[in-house]
């Protein structure tokens, strides 16, 4: 994204400077040289590893270089009337090296021909030279180094020993037989210099061998590390590609780093966009979506984690993604990018929309049949409680999907395969030794999963019990209270809040609870829960409709100034209530919500009155929030049993 705002703490990416003409020449020359050297190698040698390919290039390059030097020497000798048979013989060796390198499958043959040619040329030149000191020339030290580099320490030793015996022993003996000028060099000095030069050649071979061995060991370590990294990357990619969720990583400039197959499919199928590394990820989005992502990316680059729902509308239809954004932090703690996870919840949202539509349709039909108050009361309260049922069901399904119980089948299969010799399997086999700790860890995890699912099932049972109580109460058409229970009010409030926990997280609503020390009271538990659910839901709607970013809801429980009474106060800083609407808030059918039906607060006020309490509301005005106050008698003893009233 070209105009993505970045935090000041992050360095901006500047384009690299334009290369100058003189700086681009050496790479071009080097590339041309590599191409020429590669053309002299066979196809099998060109497919070698980079480190080996460099060795082969040096081999043919050395053959070409020595051929050039040898050619100059031949021209000079012919111009002086000499016949340099050694140089002519060396020419065949260099040409043979190039031919074998071009046609051979291994580098050993051309390398040995090159080394043998150099050794033979050096020996012939030393023996035919007029100077007796040619055997201890410094150029002799280059041959062991080249031999170790091209053919390795073992074959290089044979070349070095041949050079040592020929030049360090045979050549001094030959010179002692043909005679030397004592004024220039003594016989003992000749022997000493040549033997010392031969020993030095062996030393050079030894040092080159140590270097070659260390280099090979380092290369082996690098290759092993690379293989391990590739294996690890392969496993990571397997997990990365196996999920149906969208997974995308971008850098600090919102340029794409990597994307899994699900993300690539979504972009290509819905927008015809082929994701390529380095492309701005949001460049094809609508301006309002890009603007929203700009603000989110600034937050993530400051180290925050985000979760929200993003809705997209295109020719393919509606797409709703439950999106999570996590920062990518480098070793120094600096945020260098972010990973975006997106789960397609379109079907879930469409199902919720259909459920809402069914709810509204049923309300209309019930009203036409003369049962509007009963039907809408049931549907309203059951609909709120069904949110809790849906949440608990989704959590249980998700826990079952992620459960490690399938690992038991793999363990059973493994035990079945080694059933004939279990003691040996547990004692000596690597997998068998890992089974006990794995089973211990698996058992602990399954216990945690079981406890979590039991909690959700208990919650589900309570929600179903609440639904049954609402339906039964409405079916009786009676004003008599239901079963009176000893209820801890803070605990009941927490249950009501739990019904909207997912929505609070999604809408970033902060809930502040302040519970004073109050004793449990005897009250109709389901009626009180019905009132609390309606008040919390009403506050949530007011906060969602408000443009404020700091959305806060407060729930306070305290003793009332009137002795023997309890106050439950639900406050929010949402859209507020207009002064002219305050007196109508609890009237049947009155609502300020576009999709409301005006029965929630009306039924809550009736339920409060049935419990000998009172429900009231106040608000400073529009966009200034609202407060709902539930006043209840604080009965700490069992009330007298009353007969059910007959319906009037």
- Number of domains comprising the chain: 4
Whether 547 is in a domain gets the answer yes
> How confident is the model at residue 475, as a pLDDT?
54
> How confident is the model at residue 373, as a pLDDT?
42
Kindly state whether residues 179 and 85 are assigned to the same domain.
yes
Whether 638 is in a domain gets the answer no
**Can you give the residue range of the structural domain that contains 173?**
22-221
Kindly state whether residues 64 and 101 are assigned to the same domain.
yes
Kindly state whether residues 48 and 149 are assigned to the same domain.
yes
> How confident is the model at residue 181, as a pLDDT?
57
Whether 7 is in a domain gets the answer no
> How confident is the model at residue 361, as a pLDDT?
67
Question: Cα separation of 465 and 470, whole Å?
Answer: 9
Contact (Cβ atoms closer than 8 angstroms) between residue 404 and residue 445 = yes
Kindly state whether residues 286 and 397 are assigned to the same domain.
no
Question: Cα separation of 602 and 534, whole Å?
Answer: 10
> How confident is the model at residue 200, as a pLDDT?
63
Question: Cα separation of 146 and 639, whole Å?
Answer: 106
Kindly state whether residues 368 and 325 are assigned to the same domain.
no
H or E, element range at 397: helix 372-402
What separation in angstroms does the CA of 599 have from each of 232, 345, 571, 589?
Answer: 59, 30, 20, 6
Kindly state whether residues 198 and 304 are assigned to the same domain.
no
Whether 645 is in a domain gets the answer no
Q: List Cβ<8 Å contacts ≥24 apart for 103-109.
A: 103/42, 104/42, 104/45, 105/42, 105/44, 105/45, 107/45, 107/52, 107/55, 107/56, 107/59, 107/150, 108/151, 108/155
Q: 509: which strand partners? A: 551
Residue closest to 164 by CA, chosen among 129, 201, 212, 190: 201
Of 344, 361, 386, the one marking the end of a domain is: 344
> How confident is the model at residue 570, as a pLDDT?
95
> How confident is the model at residue 19, as a pLDDT?
41
| Grouped pLDDT means (10 residues each) for the chain, 648 residues | 35 39 59 86 88 85 87 83 79 90 89 87 78 66 81 84 81 73 59 63 65 71 82 77 86 89 84 85 84 89 89 78 90 87 87 77 48 49 70 78 76 80 78 80 81 81 72 48 78 81 80 92 85 89 90 94 91 92 80 66 85 92 93 76 40
């Amino acid at each position: 994204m070209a105009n993505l705002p970045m935090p000041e703490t992050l360095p901006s990416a500047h384009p690299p400077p334009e290369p100058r003409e003189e700086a681009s020449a050496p790479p071009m020359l080097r590339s041309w040289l590599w191409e020429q050297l590669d053309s002299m190698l066979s196809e099998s040698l060109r497919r070698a590893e980079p480190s080996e390919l460099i060795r082969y290039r040096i081999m043919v390059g050395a053959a070409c270089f020595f051929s050039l030097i040898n050619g100059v020497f031949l021209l000079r000798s012919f111009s002086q009337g000499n016949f340099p048979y050694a140089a002519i013989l060396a020419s065949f060796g260099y040409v043979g090296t190039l031919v074998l390198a071009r046609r051979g499958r291994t580098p050993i043959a051309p390398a040995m021909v090159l080394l043998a040619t150099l050794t033979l040329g050096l020996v012939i030149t030393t023996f035919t030279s007029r100077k007796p000191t040619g055997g201890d020339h410094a150029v002799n030290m280059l041959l062991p180094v080249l031999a170790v580099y091209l053919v390795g320490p073992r074959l290089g030793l044979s070349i070095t020993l041949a050079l040592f015996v020929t030049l360090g022993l045979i050549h001094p003996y030959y010179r002692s037989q043909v005679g030397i000028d004592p004024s220039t060099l003594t016989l003992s000095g000749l022997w000493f210099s040549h033997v010392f030069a031969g020993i030095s050649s062996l030393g050079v071979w030894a040092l080159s061998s140590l270097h070659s061995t260390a280099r090979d060991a380092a290369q082996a370590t690098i290759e092993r590390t690379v293989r391990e990294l590739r294996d690890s990357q392969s496993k990571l990619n397997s997990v990365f590609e196996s999920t149906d969720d969208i997974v995308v990583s971008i850098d600090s400039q919102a340029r794409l780093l990597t994307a899994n197959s699900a993300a690539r499919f979504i972009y290509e199928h819905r927008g015809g966009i082929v994701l390529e590394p380095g492309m701005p990820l949001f460049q094809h989005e609508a301006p309002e979506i890009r603007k929203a992502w700009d603000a989110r990316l600034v937050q993530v680059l400051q180290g925050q984690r985000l979760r929200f729902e993003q809705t997209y509308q295109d020719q393919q239809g509606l797409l709703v993604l439950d999106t999570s954004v996590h920062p990518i932090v480098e070793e120094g703690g600096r945020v260098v990018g972010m990973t975006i996870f997106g789960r397609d919840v379109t079907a879930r949202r469409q199902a919720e929309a259909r459920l809402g539509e069914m709810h509204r349709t049923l309300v209309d039909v019930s009203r036409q049949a003369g049962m509007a108050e009963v039907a809408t009361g049931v549907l309203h309260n059951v609909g709120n409680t069904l949110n809790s049922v849906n949440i608990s069901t989704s959590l249980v399904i998700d826990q079952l999907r992620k459960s490690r119980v399938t690992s038991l089948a793999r363990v059973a299969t493994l035990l079945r395969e080694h059933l004939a010799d279990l003691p040996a399997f547990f004692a000596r086999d690597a997998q068998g030794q890992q089974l006990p700790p794995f089973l211990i860890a698996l058992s602990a995890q399954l216990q945690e999963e079981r406890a979590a699912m039991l909690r959700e099932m208990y919650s589900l049972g309570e929600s179903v019990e609440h639904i049954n109580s609402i339906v039964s109460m409405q079916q009786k058409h009676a004003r008599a209270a239901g079963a009176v229970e000893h209820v801890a009010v803070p605990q009941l409030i927490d249950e009501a809040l739990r019904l909207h926990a997912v929505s609070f997280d999604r809408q970033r609503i902060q809930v502040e609870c302040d519970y004073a020390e109050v004793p449990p009271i005897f009250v109709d538990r389901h009626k009180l829960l019905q009132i609390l659910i309606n008040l919390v839901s009403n506050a949530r709607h007011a906060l969602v409709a408000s443009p404020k970013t700091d959305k806060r809801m407060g729930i306070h429980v305290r003793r009332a100034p009137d002795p023997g009474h309890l106050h439950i106060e639900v406050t929010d800083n949402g859209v507020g209530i207009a002064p002219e609407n305050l007196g109508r808030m609890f009237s049947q059918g009155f609502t300020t919500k576009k999709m409301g039906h005006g029965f929630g607060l009306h039924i809550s006020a009736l339920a409060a009155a049935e419990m000998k309490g009172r429900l009231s509301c106040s608000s400073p005005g529009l966009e200034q929030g609202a407060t709902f106050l539930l006043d209840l008698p604080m009965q700490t003893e069992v009330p007298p049993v009353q007969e059910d009233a007959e319906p009037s």
